[in-house]
Chains A and B, each alone.
Chain A
C-alpha cells in the first residue's frame, strides 16, 4: 500500500479506545473508512460483561458511538459461528491435548485477518485497520510497536505476507498513554475505558472453571517428576499449564522448601508432573510448519525468539526447515508451553545504535513464527508429542 493513496479501509472497532483512535487516524490519513464491530458471541450476555471485554452489547454500543463521533458508517458483522469454531473450539481442543493456546493469536489468524479481511476484500475494501500496537516498516515487515509494554507484534506474527499487506496498524508509533490523550482530544467517550486483558469469551475470567465446564472433571494424580511419588490429585489435567506454580493444591512442601512447578501434562493418563524450577529449563524448541513474514531462509541464523505474549526475549540460533523451526537458545528459558507461538525477531540494531536511521523501519522485525510443539535440552532427548516439558 502506497503512502498518500486513498484506500477503502474497514476499521475493526472493538468498542475500546485503541481501535477507535486507529479508525480516526485512518480517516485523518485520507482514507475512506467504514467501521465494523465483530459480534463474536451469538449470545452476548454469556461473554464478558462490564466495560473491559470485546464482545458485549455495551462494547458494540461504544464502538457505534465512537464511529458516530468520528463520522464514519458503522456496521456489526456476525462472526459468532466462525469465532466459535476457529477460536473457542480450538481453545478447548488445545487444552484437552495438554497444550496452552493463545486465543487472541488464533483470532487474528482465523477471524480478523482471514474471515473478516476476506469478506472486506470481496466487498471492495483494500485493507483492514485495527488498534493493535505494531508497526509495518517501509520494507513491509511487521515490527514491534514503539511502546514496548503494549507491543502486540507477537499475536500478529501468525499473519502471512498477503494478510499483512492488507493490514493497517495506525497506533504502532504511539505510546498507549498518548493514545488515551488523543482519544480524549477527539471527544471519544471510550478514552477512559479500561483495557481488556483477559480472554474475551470467558465471562468471569475463570479459565479453569470454563474448561471444567466443557471438558468435565476427572480426577488424576500430581506426581513428582524425579521420584515418581504421588503428591496430590487434581480434577483434570486440562486445567494446567506448563510452568504454572499456583493452584496446584499440594499439601506437602518440597523437601528443599522451594516452590514446585508444572513440568509436563499428559492427557492420555490425566497425569501432571511437577518439580523444581530448574527442571523447567529448556534450550531447544521445535515448532510446527513456520509462517514467514520476512524472506524465507534455509540456513541456520542468529535471531531473538519470543515464546509467549509479553514474554521475555531469548537470543537463539534458529534452524529452519519447511516442516518446522528449531530454536537453540543461548541461555535456557523456563516455563515454555506447547501451543504457544515461537516468534523469531530480527533485532533492530539501528534502534540501539543509530538514532539517524529511517523511522520507517524501526523496531524489531518479525521474520517468522511457528507453533511450539516440543521442547527439550540440547544434550537430552527432545520430548515430543502433546506434552511440553523436559
Chain B
C-alpha cells in the first residue's frame, strides 16, 4: 500500500520496535530502589544520554513526556506561567503553528487573559523575522515567551530559528521550538540553535507514538503541567514509560545518524514526485519554499478540487496521503497555514500533502502518479461544494 503520509506518522524502525519489545518484557519502575527499579532507571538514563547527545543537548536538559503535544504544552504554558507578571503577560507565536502550540497559546489567551501576538509569514510560509524585530523594539518587556516551529508540518517550510533566537536572546526572552517534524529529518543541534526548549515526538521519526521529549535548558524555568511523583526534575511527574523511552531513543539515534543520507535520498524522490505532478497537472500550485523545506514534504493545491474529495479518490485507488490541515468533527477546514500564506479560501481547501519517509520507495511515487491524474479530473468535476 503506497503510504505517503509519513508526517502524520511513520512506521517504527525495526530496531526501535525490538528495543520496545525487549524492554517491555522487563519488570521495573524507574523510581524504585531495588534491583528491578535500578535496571529500569539505567535503561532510562542510557536512553537520555544517547538521545540528548544525538541532538546536541546535555542529558540533564532532556525531559521525557507522553507526546509531542505534551512537550509543546509544557514548554509554552510552563514558560509563560513561570515568567508572567502584571506587566509581562504576552506570548508571541506564529500564524502557522501546529495545534499543539496554537491551541495551547489560544487557551492562555482565552482562559488566562494572556496577550497573544501572532507573527505573520511570507508567501512560502516562512515567519517574518522583521515583524519580531519590530515587536521586540516596542514591547520586549511585555513578553513572557516566544514560540516558533522548526519546520512546518503542512507545507514543510523551514523557519529562521537562529535569527529568532538571536533577537530574543538580546532581550532575555526564552524561545521554544516545536521541532516535531524536524528531528531526524533535518540537522538539529539544540545547543547551537540558541533556543531554550525544543519539543520532539517519537512517532514522527521511527519511534512509538505516546513517547515524546522536551529539551530544556537548565536555567529556563517552567511551571509544571503535571504534579505528582516528581519524576523528570519535578517538571513532569508520572511513572516513566521505560519501553517507550528506550524505543524513542533508539529510533532517534538511528534517524539522526542516517539523517544526511536519508535527506538526500528523500529529496531526490520528492523532487521526482513534484516534477511529475507538475507535468501531469500543469495548474497545480506547489506550496511552501521550493528549496528550504523538509526533504520528504511535497504540498500542492489543485485548483477546483476539494482536498477531501481527492483524498478519498486516492484512498480508493490505494494511495494514502493527507490534506495536511486539521479537521473539526471530521470536516476539513481551510488550512490556516495556507490562509496565513495568503492563499484564497478555495486554494486553502484544495490542497494535498504528500510526505515521504524512511520506508518510501520509488514504487510509492509511481503509484501516486498512476492514480493522481484521474483523481484530479474526477475531483474537479465534482467541484468545490
Contacts and interface: CB of A to CB of B under 8 A. Distances in A.
Interface in B22-74: none
Interface in A66-102: 73, 75-82
Contact of B385 (A44, A57, A64, A79): A79
Contact of B330 (A60, A80, A122): A60
Nearest to B312: A75
A124 interface: yes
A152 to B, nearest CB: 25
Interface in B76-130: none
B332 interface: yes
Contact of B312 (A37, A115, A123): A123
A342 interface: no
A22 interface: no
Nearest to A8: B316
A282 interface: no
Contacts of B327: 76
B329 A75 contact: no
A34 interface: yes
Interface string B290-314: 0000000000000000001100110
Interface size class, chain B = 10 to 19
Given A60-B329, A123-B379, A124-B378, A78 B385 contact: yes
Interface residues of A, number: 21
Nearest to B383: A122
Contacts of A60: 329-330
A201 to B, nearest CB: 16
B1 interface: no
Contacts of B308: 75, 77
A305 B308 CA distance: 43
Contacts of B383: 122
Interface in B260-313: 308-309, 312-313
Contacts of B385: 77-79, 81-82, 115, 119
B332 A78 contact: yes
A9 interface: no
Given A76-B330, A76-B331, A78-B332, A122 B381 contact: yes
A81 B384 CA distance: 12
A123 B309 contact: yes
A214 B62 CA distance: 57
Contacts of B18: none
A76 B309 CA distance: 10
Interface in B124-156: none
A78 B331 contact: yes
Contacts of A80: 331
Nearest to B381: A122
A77 B327 CA distance: 12
Closest 9 CB pairs of A and B: A76-B330, A122-B382, A78-B331, A122-B381, A123-B382, A57-B329, A39-B331, A119-B382, A76-B331
18 contacts: A34-B312, A39-B331, A44-B329, A57-B329, A60-B329, A73-B312, A75-B308, A75-B312, A75-B330, A76-B330, A77-B385, A79-B385, A82-B385, A115-B385, A119-B309, A119-B385, A123-B313, A123-B378
Given A75-B308, A124-B378, 5 more contacts: A34-B312, A73-B315, A78-B385, A119-B385, A122-B378
